[in-house]
Amino acid sequence: MPWKEVSIMSQRLEFVTLATADNANLRHLCRCFGISPNTAYKWLDRFQADGMSGLEDRSRRPHNSPVRTPKDMEETVIKLRGKHPAWGGRKLERRLLDLGLTGVPRPSTITAILRRHHMLDPRESAKHRAFCRFERAAPNELWQMDFKGDFKLSQGRCYPLTILDDHSRFAIAVQACSRTNKSVTQTELIKIFRRYGLPQQITCDNGSPWGSGGRSYYTALGVWLLRLGVAISHSRPHHPQTQGKDERFHRTLEAEVLRYQQGTTLTDWQLHFDQWRVVYNTERPHEALSMDVPASRYQPSHRRYPEQLPAIEYGPSDIVRKVRSYGHIKHAGREYHVGKAFHGLHVALRPTTTDGLFHVFFCQHKIGTLDLADNKLS
């Protein structure tokens, strides 16, 4: 913050006098005088070097005229921007440095070059806002999965399936799908699991094929994931920020691929997605990663995909019940709804320290709580 207008020199002198006293609390003094710590240290350094004269204002005219960016570097910036029209100054600077070039201008200079060549859209720049970021501690602890908005092909439609690693922002997959049903999604996931292994958890929204609008959150696809030992969670309805990284990834996909590329078939679009995913993971600097690329923070999971589903096993103290065709189990003479997706499979009731209260498990995953007193399973 700036100094107050009244008696600027006297305020500066008072400040440096107080700040150089024994046991001075510099940050508290900054708050009292309404200035930043950087400003405080500047005047303290000048006062120590030049005394009172150091507290006077100095001309801001640079000692030397700034050197204009060399023409060949400016052309390189323009060419790289043409290749990645959605990248800004910081990403372009980092990519130029990663390519081993010398004399790379600062992001602000690159932005000025883009503006001078009319390569910036003010409406796009106005959309960028800072936000708080949260991430898992290690790769594969959580994957975010969703379908990007579909679009028309010459025959049928394309539904891009996207999967993003929460820790590294590594794009696990961008798949051009013809449907959003269980069969198509599971087929794609098997290919992905074979390459990258199994995550500990996947979060997704409440839509098909992983969400259910009925009495149970679990679908056949979700039950399959639980069998594999992958926990599944759902975003809150009407709260897309729960999957904020994947939502942001969708905006990037729109800005860098869907806006510029063309295709009439799923094969065309899969080629575009595959080419761009390599750029996104290995070339495109990511601001949330201190301008590193996602591949620098990602490693495939050590949990390999089993070609055969593991057997369902429970402990000797568990009360095991088979789920009936309409999604119910029977216990203590009453029926309770677990979910049709579990039809034909066994679940376990585990007593808690509260009388009449049981936790319901499928494999190692808790899927509900049974309260005999209230006669309900939630």
Domain boundaries, the chain: 8-55, 71-125, 143-297, 319-377
| Distance, CA of 327 to CA of 85 (rounded, Å) | 52
Distance CA 321, CA 374 (A): 20
Q: Peptide bond preceding 351: is omega within 30 degrees of 0, i.e. cis?
A: no
Q: What pLDDT is stored for residue 174 in this prediction?
A: 95
Alpha carbon distance 36, 32 (integer Å): 10
- Burial of residue 204 (number of CB atoms within 10 Å: 0-12, 13-18, 19+): buried
Phi/psi region, residue 332 (left: phi>0; alpha: psi -120 to 50; beta: rest), is left
Work out the percent of the chain whose per-residue pLDDT is above 90: 37
- The first and second tokens of residue 97, run together, are 């440095």
Kindly report, residue by residue over 290-322, the tens digit of the pLDDT: 888 888 889 899 999 999 998 899 999 999 999
Dihedral angle over CA of 263, 265, 271, 272, nearest 10: 30
- At 116-140, the pLDDT tens digits run 777 776 555 544 544 445 677 899 9
- Residue 274 banded pLDDT, cuts 50, 70, 90: very high
What is the C-alpha R_g of the chain? 29
Burial class for 142, CB neighbours closer than 10 Å (0-12, 13-18, 19+): buried
Band of the pLDDT at 33, cuts 50, 70, 90? Answer: low
| Through-space distance between the first and last CA atoms of the chain, rounded to whole angstroms | 54
CATH for 143-297, options being 3.90.870.30, 3.90.226.10, 3.30.420.10, 3.90.1720.10:
3.30.420.10
State residue 7's pLDDT score.
Answer: 56
Q: What is the pLDDT of residue 130?
A: 43
pLDDT at 218: 85
Q: Cα angle at 202 between 210 and 254, to 5 degrees?
A: 80
Residue 220 has pLDDT above 80, yes or no: yes
pLDDT at residue 9, as a whole number: 66
DSSP characters over 288-307:
GGTTB-GGGG----SSPPPS
pLDDT at 122: 53
Contact 252, 259 (CB under 8 A): no
Give the per-residue pLDDT at 1: 43
Q: How confident is the model at residue 102 (pLDDT cuts 50, 70, 90)?
A: confident
The residue whose two tokens read 């794609």 is: 188
Q: What is the DSSP letter of 286?
A: B
Q: Do residues 370 and 335 lie in contact, with contact meaning Cβ atoms separated by under 8 Å?
A: no
pLDDT digits (tens, 9 = 90+) for 346-374: 999 999 888 889 999 999 899 989 988 88
Q: pLDDT (tens digit, 9 = 90+) per residue, 141-200?
A: 999 999 988 999 999 999 999 999 999 999 999 999 999 999 999 999 999 999 999 999
For the chain, where are the alpha helices, taking DSSP H only? Answer: 8-19, 26-33, 37-50, 71-83, 89-98, 107-116, 122-125, 182-196, 220-227, 244-253, 266-282
Which pair of structure tokens corresponds to residue 315? 């402990």
pTM over 0.75: no
Among 307, 279, 304, CA closest to 293: 279
Mean pLDDT over the full length of the chain = 83
Q: CA of 310: how far to CAs of 31, 306, 345, in Å? A: 62, 8, 13
